[in-house]
A = this chain, B = another copy of it.
């Protein structure tokens, strides 16, 4: 149970870990992982592309004798939203086998020091980082993100969130010292003295349930938080996005084995079609921690049924923007148009309901009526997405039939009057991909119910009575529907104070007057929290102490000195 104080991986990563811990306290920009492919070598794109190409059609087993799932789509295999079937088969283990192997692997990892565990995690991340381009392609062809975004969000930015979780977990595990001496004066008598040891004990088997759209970005925080606190992790990927997490698991197993630990500390749990493996695993008594990103329905099911576990969920909400006034109308609209378009609005953080006073707004270009604001936003979208090749690089592809159906409903006017019809984009590179520009629908809060969650590229411009009315609708939406993000445009200190109060009260973070190169749907690790855990959209945030502090417990051993 003694702390391991020297190990080559500690030597290699201790400085980065310390820097990451201080970054968490400073919250300025920091990352060890460059976000441009060229930083990984002049031929990084070619090398990574070839590596990805080499993955297609392979059979990926953790151990000989494992069953297989996939590779064909009918049997649950992955097909790129850009068109091609990946034809990859993955090793399959039964729930009993997964749990047994995880449980058997745990003791030595539990007894390793928090620093050694953090260093092993940092090494896993370093090796993932070195293969960022390959991960970028894997994320692109499972999620439908365009490569540029898939590389950044699925590569270095996901790695940032993973390292953030490792640093946060390491910091929390070492708040209590490993050893302490206790000396209590007793007046004229000898003092009472005790020697105390404090031992971090992991909670049990952790289960990561991955999502379709951000398998690594949303998967790494829980994965690394659980692993760094000593828990074995069973990784149950979304059936449409297995590859990025399968690569993660392969790399983790390789590093764990090299460091002398049982590779079954990390196992992939792909499912057979229709198996419902997540439910089976989530309710196993040995599963003590669950991290989940995905639909509200299944998140609610987990919270209701996986009672034996700590359950961290990121579900969905209705992200709201109040547009009350601006001193930079053009850039405000450009910023919003980008936010609505990025990855076809298929982000849990994409704005959806845009609340605009019915009487119009004040801008640096004069007063703009509600109709003008809507038309100008439609124009901004049109300009941003006018060129098919460029549009495809921003929009990516439609990730699944549910999103496609919602666009088609919007197109038919089923959600309300269309201010901007969704356009079909043809990618020269991927002619088979379904690529759609956002639909902009107008509603009036005086007669229309506020739309609930409508995941995908459908935004609603909603006329409200006044700024105050908008503030109250934002508050109510966050409270009742949840939200991952909120934003406001206002030049009025009074309105700003009200919207800040409403956002904090309702439990959502707020971006104010974004007109530059930062978008409401993006958060930066080590600085921004992702989610708040304070509204129905998510019960946790990446990454605060609450996200890691309950994943382990501290046992004390004390004796007289």
- Residues of chain A having any CB pair with chain B under 8 Å: 1, 24-29, 107, 172, 175-177, 180-186, 192, 194, 196, 198-199, 201, 203, 500-501, 503-505, 507-518, 524, 527-529, 532-534, 541, 544-546, 549-550, 553-560
Contact = CB atoms under 8 A, between A and B. Distances in A.
A235 to B, nearest CB: 24
Q: Which A-B residue pairs are the 4 nearest by beta carbons? A: A27-B180, A534-B553, A509-B556, A512-B559
Q: A182, A507, A555 — which one has the most chain B CB atoms within 10 A of its CB?
A: A555
A177 B511 contact: no
Contact of A27 (B182, B503, B512, B546): B182
Contact of A516 (B1, B27, B192, B512): B192
Nearest to A204: B534
B27 A517 contact: no
Contacts of A512: 557-559
Contacts of A198: 27, 529
* Majority SS at the chain A contact face: mixed
Given A196-B528, A514-B560, A528-B196, A176 B555 contact: no
A28 B515 CA distance: 52
A491 to B, nearest CB: 12
Nearest to A533: B553
Contact of A177 (B26, B546, B559): B26
A178 to B, nearest CB: 10
A507 B230 CA distance: 14
Contact of A510 (B172, B192, B545, B558): B558
A555 B239 CA distance: 33
Nearest to A509: B556
A456 B263 CA distance: 48
A29 B184 contact: yes
B518 A560 contact: yes
A544 B504 contact: no
B27 A557 contact: no
